[in-house]
Structure 1
Amino acid sequence: MSFETSLLGIGVANGSGFIRMIIIKISSVIPRKALTPAVMFISILSHISSGSAYVILMPVASMMFFSFGKHPLAGIAASFAGLAGGHSASYTPSIIDPIMQGFTQNAARMIDPTYTVNVLCNYFLSFSSTFAVILVGWFVTDKIVEPFLWRTMPIDEGVTAENTDISLITKEENRAFKTAVLILISMIIILIALLVPKNSLLRAPDGQLTTPDATIMQAIVPVIFLFLVIPGFVYGKLTNKFRTSKDFSNAMADSIKNLASFLTFAFFCAQFLYMFGNSNVGTLMAISCAEFLKSLNMPPQITIAGIILLTGVLDILISSASSKWAIMAPVLVPMLMAVGISPELTQASYRVSDSAMNIVTPMFSFYPLIISYCQKYCKKTGVGTLSSMMIPYSIGIFIALLIMLYGFWALNIPIGFNSGYVYPPVH
């Protein structure tokens, strides 16, 4: 599985002490009060790497929070909220955009065979929403979730944070860190140089970088693995953390020791998801609810609110954004076009609810892995603990994104490129 490959890379970078050094360096320049918005910002930005970001960012965020004297689970929660919010709040396009656009366009062509949906049809709304998500996440983390965690989820005895006193860094460690960072920067420059040419082999046949068939998107996991392993290995060798090949392999092994409970949970979860998917219950529910909304013949603002609520209900049963939209788009998009609502607005309303609800449903594919991260600090963490921890974020993000969507609509601000609110489009 792709997350296992990424975890091996994290194991090398962490076992060598490279991640610890990154945290120490960051700790020396970021004020404690700015840690939460910094984690939220990085998490929102990192959603472009799709599922790999969940594997990498959350353990690092927990270590950073712990080293600052904050609750490590609050770091995981803030990172989770930022990553999930990235589906509707993002600075950059990601792999989810062309996937959503494809389903929306195909559904729209059931009514209008010539209709074209821009890949960035929700980008203006998405970009603007990032600021709202960061502010909401900052407030919820520092004022609600972290105090709640200190009261109800004390850190297990024997768990200690990394010492982040920058004065304790030796000259050898500092020199090794500079060398490893220089190598990492060189790798990034080389990758960018390979991506720039329009005929690059790392691009999709049509020249795009973020579409699913782009080579770089298909190879994102091994790329991340190399970006973690190579600097981590260099740092480990220069600081004598990796004296032998056994030290190197042990670092990888340590990173997946906590996966036993996750794999057990994932096995039974996969059986349920398979049976649920083949039963077509989700499809029947989507069609039934959509037809009910159509029969009410409500104003567009109320109809969109109904779509948002419908998506939220279905999120409890189907967590995958693309799978759910594959079911809903052929029903909702033509139905709403028939009553004058544009496909782009329908897609935006879907993404608002999907982003807010994903973080509280146990059906979310990364839930077991996130629980295993939490159990590193609090063994009693379970599904209920994680869900209750994320509910304030879900409510806050939902309200913020709802205000952004209706605010754009009321002011008639375009929600993206070549996007309007009505069908047929008004030019």
Structure 2
Amino acid sequence: MDSLTRTSSKGSESRLMAGFLNAIERAGNRLPEPALIFLYFMLLVMGLSAALSLVEFSIVNPVTQQPVQINNLLSTEALTNTLTNMVTTFTGFAPLGIVLVAMLGVGVAESSGFINVALKKMLRVTPKKLLTPMLIFVAMFSHVAADAGYVLVIPLGAIIFMSAGRHPLVGIAAAFSGVSGGFAANMVPTGNDALLQGFTQAAAQLLDPSYNVNTLCNLFFGIASSILITLVGWWVTERIVEPRVSKMTLDGDYRQEGDMSSVSQQESRAFNRAGLVMVLGLAALAAAAWPETSSLRSPDGSLTAYGAPIMKSIVPLIFLIFIIPGIVYGFASGTFKTGKDVIHSMNDSMSKMGSYMVMAFFCAMFIKAFSDSNIGTLVALAGADGLKALALPGEATIIGMIVLTAVVNLLIGSASAKWALLSPIMVPMLMAVGISPELTQAAFRIGDSCTNIITPLMVFFPLVVVYCQRYVKSAGVGTLVSIMMPYSIAFFVAWSVFLLVWWGMGMPLGVAAPYTWSAG
């Protein structure tokens, strides 16, 4: 009887979760086309800015030390500015260039068959049971290459899962959860560590001018978190997401690969040549970057700093690393006969990006309007003041910090923009109650990661919708949000508890990273 009761309880919970996610999907997909959503949001922001610009707020921006003022986007000056900068707003939209340049190289490698054969060989050596955690872990590791995961790992996740006989949207979800949901977890330092450390240290010195924050202050916790996120993401993928997503009919514009278990001798020879070219290229890059005086390093000798030339060259490097082996493989295998075939493969890859470019235009216009209006700044600072007024105990304050960041993240996608606003308030405030800047930064990074995967305002979200539509035509914003919601909830709960346990056990957050601070 007890086992029957437990089975019935699990069935009820499963039906409740399915009903919740189905409701989210239906509600989300009743919304207009994503491009129109961004257009309507832009118009809404413009209207709100006009109304709120008449209100005087007492909230002070810690960066400017001036009260927050909402800018009226319907004024003659603002409308003129919108029109004169419309083209540069679109062409300057960071994800646009990243996506298009990277896809040119990846498109050649895919059309030639190089990626297909690489996946066949990978599937031979990777146990099917470990395919999901492998993909999530690789997706998290892609943070080393800035935003490369969005344009490389996520679409490859779909291909890998489809090649293994699983639904491609499950591969997209697993990869997206690692690239974006696990953004704060990594096995090695990234440029984001240095970026956030600068804001944290400046904020800490508002209270203690001699305080220094180490760039690697969250390294050990980040390494442990990568294991946690891999395990939690694995469980969510196979227990919640895959059973639901597998029911979706594949009706999109994609190419069904043939037998994924066989590789011909010609394909194998061509792959070996192309693989050798890729290895030699990577070796040449490593040799060029190795010397301390390398031009690929930043002035201070770092390879991972945001200002390092190699970090700024990640997307062009992806282009070269894929297009050169792709061309070698294509001619060696007979897929390409002339240079025209290579150009045709580029044209084909760009033709699939039309819907993304339309969405990118309206997304860029909305984000520009939202930023110019100052509404996001007002919401973020009001939330921080509210948390401060609650005067919660240390552990509860850290959870409140995570919640605040997760909510603000739904409106302001950029981690640096959020931390620039929140750190001057939250870091000194928590220092005043004995919590170190390093612990505050760790809490911020958790909240910043968990809701990346469910907010359409994240700049790469429209691109992931396009990936889904390649396989399921009806997939929309609601579809993707409903698929990613279980990851967001699970990561939020597990990661928050993990931080408290890590703190309670006294495990080191990173290099020179105390949990507490006291004056003097």
The normalised TM-score by structure 1 is 0.96
Residue 6 (structure 1) aligns with: 102
Identity %: 46
Q: CA deviation at 1:424?
A: 2.8
The question of 1:366 aligning with 2:460 is answered yes
Give the secondary-structure state (helix, strand or coil) at the position aligned to 2:351. coil
Cα distance in structure 2, aligned partners of 1:405 and 1:373: 33
Q: Structure 1 residues 317 and 157, CA, compared in 2 at 3 Å: closer, same or farther? A: closer
Residue 117 (structure 2) aligns with: 21
Q: Retained in 1: the 8 A contact 2:163–2:260?
A: no
Residue 362 (structure 2) aligns with: 268
Cα distance in structure 2, aligned partners of 1:256 and 1:147: 33
The question of 1:187 aligning with 2:281 is answered yes
Q: Retained in 1: the 8 A contact 2:181–2:451?
A: no
Q: CA deviation at 1:130?
A: 1.0
> Paired residues, what number?
424
Structure 1 residue corresponding to 2:440, chosen from 346, 357, 365? 346
Q: Retained in 2: the 8 A contact 1:46–1:53?
A: yes
Q: CA deviation at 1:374?
A: 0.8
Gaps of 5+ in 2: 1-96
Q: Retained in 2: the 8 A contact 1:87–1:355?
A: yes
Q: CA deviation at 1:216?
A: 0.5
Q: Structure 1 residues 292 and 257, CA, compared in 2 at 3 Å: closer, same or farther? A: same
Q: CA deviation at 1:107?
A: 1.2
Q: CA deviation at 1:86?
A: 3.7
Amino acid at match of 2:305: T
Cα distance in structure 1, aligned partners of 2:454 and 2:518: 36
Amino acid at match of 1:173: E
Structure 1 residue corresponding to 2:163, chosen from 67, 92, 102? 67
Q: Structure 1 residues 194 and 159, CA, compared in 2 at 3 Å: closer, same or farther? A: closer
Residue 91 (structure 1) aligns with: 187
Q: Retained in 2: the 8 A contact 1:317–1:363?
A: yes
Q: 220-229 or 280-289: which moved more? A: 280-289
Structure 2 residue corresponding to 1:307, chosen from 374, 377, 401? 401
Residue 223 (structure 2) aligns with: 127
Cα distance in structure 2, aligned partners of 1:161 and 1:270: 33
Residue 116 (structure 1) aligns with: 212
The normalised TM-score by structure 2 is 0.79
Gaps of 5+ in 1: none
Structure 2 residue corresponding to 1:162, chosen from 257, 280, 295? 257
Give the secondary-structure state (helix, strand or coil) at the position aligned to 1:256. helix
Q: For 1:8-407, list aligned pairs within 5 A.
A: 8-151=104-247, 153-156=248-251, 159=254, 161-167=256-262, 169-407=263-501
Q: Structure 1 residues 223 and 295, CA, compared in 2 at 3 Å: closer, same or farther? A: same
Q: 276-285 or 367-376: which moved more? A: 276-285
Which structure has the greater CA radius of gyration? 2
Amino acid at match of 2:184: S
Cα distance in structure 2, aligned partners of 1:209 and 1:401: 29
Amino acid at match of 1:184: M
* CA offset digits 1:50-92 (Å, max 9, x no partner): 1122101111110110111100000000000011244221101
Q: CA deviation at 1:260?
A: 1.6
Amino acid at match of 2:430: L
Q: Retained in 2: the 8 A contact 1:125–1:404?
A: no
Q: Retained in 2: the 8 A contact 1:24–1:164?
A: no
Q: Retained in 1: the 8 A contact 2:182–2:450?
A: no
Cα distance in structure 1, aligned partners of 2:326 and 2:226: 32
Cα distance in structure 2, aligned partners of 1:149 and 1:53: 22
Cα distance in structure 1, aligned partners of 2:377 and 2:115: 44
Amino acid at match of 1:50: A
Give the secondary-structure state (helix, strand or coil) at the position aligned to 2:355. helix
Q: Structure 1 residues 129 and 164, CA, compared in 2 at 3 Å: closer, same or farther? A: farther
Cα distance in structure 2, aligned partners of 1:196 and 1:271: 41
Q: Retained in 1: the 8 A contact 2:174–2:237?
A: yes
